[in-house]
Chain A
């Protein structure tokens, strides 16, 4: 535990004058006419700089669609998305490491693509690999790593993109509980060290409560924002602490009610 890292007062960040990311009436429809499917309907959301927001929902609620819209991988049907600073870095559910590159090469790829000079690149890669605890595996290839290590590598690569905004699409969903818990700790630490703005998509309620400054609950078909919780629990948080469990219970209850309401329609 790092005592020097005081809990971040998320309220202050959120009340900052300018929003870092603004979603305004975002709607996404796939297909046309009778076969069309509304994935997202009128989603509005504002993120302050340095804020950690978790988007929570059952599968099919459009949360991944929302993320790929913010990432610029897909286009909105209507509404606007504004990001104060350039292209966001993305971390997917699968590590999506390039199997022909070593860990070091994978991490430095974004910098190679943007022609960062060798010296700075090496310095940054070493710093990032130390940060995610992979410095001793720099010359390994992805297939030689465990699932957790692969996601650490993917995280380092996303950080190497030097974007202020980090988008994470259920990045730890495929990991075992123990590994996930470690990665939560690491992500929390790295977020505090780097001050990135993070949008973290998950279907895991506790994960959302453990990590987020705010938890945005979405309802499925079409995806809408159901409710937003402020998580004023001191960091670093424990997954099974009283506060985390308490809020997780409350959110889960709402999630169930929403699902039941949805099913009754």
Chain B
């Protein structure tokens, strides 16, 4: 039983392991090439390799910087994401249920989604103080949630709504058993995309807003830049990448997969 599980995990994850090895290999190769050419040119600090970055991560954990920063950043991400989720859901629902809003707000949402949320940083810093980081995350993430809900609603077969009407579904029951349930796959896909957007926005915000807010992963990266500490920068970069992937793979991907499997949209 245990053995089977291990085999299954291995079978499922080997393409990813190969990809990671390949990436690390390329990185190392680049470092070797750069060190040689830079050495010949006599320029700057050498590019840190994967080994250096991982060692630096160990060091940052050891001196008690990385873990509190990670916790701080994740807390911001969680709060910002939760607010974006609430806002995106309310707006998305309003847009699909109220035709006038749909005509007016629908295209605006698509525009907002394509607007890099970094552009909100200057405004947020000036007017919103400590809330600035959350604001940027919300602006980055909520359009994806609302859009996910909208496009999912458009893809519900009309027959489903006819069915609801013929059953006399109304009020909370109608929302629960039809609207929410029917749009769930698209909603979760939107949630997944919103996570990517919110994580990006948060990093941009932390980088730019810098040390006024308490230390997060973005500040470690910024700190590395200020001090010209390349290994620290790469350690922060690696940590940011790992968190982004981990949240997606451990939270959203299984959620989406389970959902689709139960509905028979992917083979069991």
Size band of the interface chain B makes with A: 20 to 34
Given contacts A92-B163, A109-B167, A114-B168, contact A98 B181 (CB under 8 A): yes
CB neighbours (8 Å) of B174 from chain A are 113
Interface residue? B257 (CB, 8 A):
no
Is B100 positioned at the interface, with any CB of A under 8 Å from its CB?
no
Q: Are B166 and A90 in contact (CB under 8 A)?
A: yes
Q: How far is the CA of A144 from the CA of B184 in the complex (A)?
A: 20
Taking the nearest CB of chain B, how far is it from the CB of A195, in angstroms? 21
The B219-239 residues at the A interface (CB cut-off 8 A) are: none
Given A113-B169, A141-B264, answer yes or no on A100-B184 (Cβ-Cβ < 8 Å).
yes
B72 CB, min distance to chain A CBs, angstroms:
38
With A87-B168, A101-B181, A113-B168 already in contact, 12 other A-B pairs whose C-beta atoms are closer than 8 Å: A71-B166, A73-B162, A73-B166, A92-B162, A94-B159, A96-B159, A99-B263, A100-B181, A100-B182, A100-B262, A109-B167, A113-B174
**Distance in angstroms between the alpha carbons of A154 and B202 in the assembled complex:** 48
Contacts of A110 in B (CB 8 A): 167
Shortest CB-to-CB span from B77 to chain A, Å, is 29
User: For residues 158 through 201 of chain B, which have their beta carbon under 8 Å from a beta carbon of chain A?
Assistant: 159-160, 162-163, 165-169, 173-174, 177, 181-182, 184
Question: For the complex, is A89 an interface residue (Cβ under 8 Å from B)?
Answer: yes
Please tell me if A142 contacts chain B, counting CB pairs below 8 Å. Answer: yes
A200 nearest CB across to chain B (Å): 16
28 A-B pairs (CB sep. < 8 Å): A68-B162, A73-B165, A87-B166, A87-B168, A90-B162, A92-B163, A96-B157, A96-B162, A98-B181, A98-B182, A99-B263, A99-B265, A100-B184, A100-B263, A101-B181, A109-B167, A110-B167, A113-B167, A113-B169, A113-B174, A114-B168, A141-B263, A141-B264, A142-B264, A143-B263, A143-B264, A144-B264, A161-B167
Interfacial chain A residues near B160, Cβ < 8 Å: 96, 98
> From residue B165, how far is it (CB to closest CB) to chain A in Å?
6
Q: Once the chains are docked, how many angstroms separate the CA of A142 from the CA of B265?
A: 11
Q: Which residues in A have their C-beta under 8 angstroms from that of B163?
A: 90, 92, 96
Contact flags A87-130 to B (C-beta < 8 A → 1, else 0): 11110101010111100000001101110000000000000000
Cα of A189 to Cα of B37 in the assembled complex, Å:
87
- Chain A 122-164, CB within 8 Å of chain B: the 1/0 string? 0000000000000000000111100000000000000001000
Chain B residues with CB under 8 Å of chain A are: 157, 159-160, 162-163, 165-169, 173-174, 177, 181-182, 184, 262-265
CA distance A100 to B167 in the complex (A): 18
Report, nearest first, the 6 A-B pairs whose CB atoms are least far apart. A143-B264, A90-B166, A99-B263, A113-B173, A96-B159, A96-B163
**Chain B interface SS verdict (over half):** helix
Q: Which residues of A contact B (CB under 8 A)?
A: 68, 71-73, 87-90, 92, 94, 96, 98-101, 109-110, 112-114, 141-144, 161
Q: Give the complex CA separation of A99 and B178 in angstroms.
A: 11
The A/B interface has a contact count, at CB < 8 Å, of: 56
On chain B, the residues within 8 Å of A94 by CB distance are: 159
Nearest-Cβ distance from residue A259 to partner chain B, whole angstroms: 29
Q: How far is the CB of A68 from chain B (nearest CB, A)?
A: 8
Are B167 and A141 in contact (CB-based, < 8 A)?
no
Find the B residue at minimum CB distance from A98. B181
B168: nearest chain-A partner, CB-CB? A87
Residues of B within 8 A of A141 (CB): 262-264
Tell me which of A68, A71, A72, A143 has the highest count of chain B C-beta atoms within 10 A of its own C-beta: A143
Residues of B within 8 A of A112 (CB): 173, 177
Give CA–CA (A99, B262) in the complex, Å: 8
A142 to chain B: which residues have CB within 8 Å?
264
**What residues of chain A lie closer than 8 Å to B182, measured between beta carbons?**
98, 100
A189 to B131, CA, bound (A): 67
Find chain A residues with CB under 8 A from B262 CB.
100, 141
Instruction: Give the CA-CA distance A110 to B263 in the complex, in Å.
Output: 20
B196 CB, nearest partner CB in chain A, Å: 25
Q: How far is the CB of B231 from chain A (nearest CB, A)?
A: 49
Contact B159 A89 (CB under 8 A): no
Expressed in whole angstroms, the minimum distance between the Cβ of A133 and any Cβ of chain B is: 21
In chain A, what residue has the closest Cβ to B178?
Answer: A98
Q: Which A residues lie within 8 Å of B184 (CB)? A: 100
With CB as the reference atom, state the residue of chain A lying closest to B174. A113
Task: Give chain A nearest CB distance to B40 CB in angstroms.
Answer: 63
The smallest C-beta distance from A21 to any residue of chain B, in angstroms, reads 16
Complex contacts, A99 vs chain B, CB 8 Å = 263-265
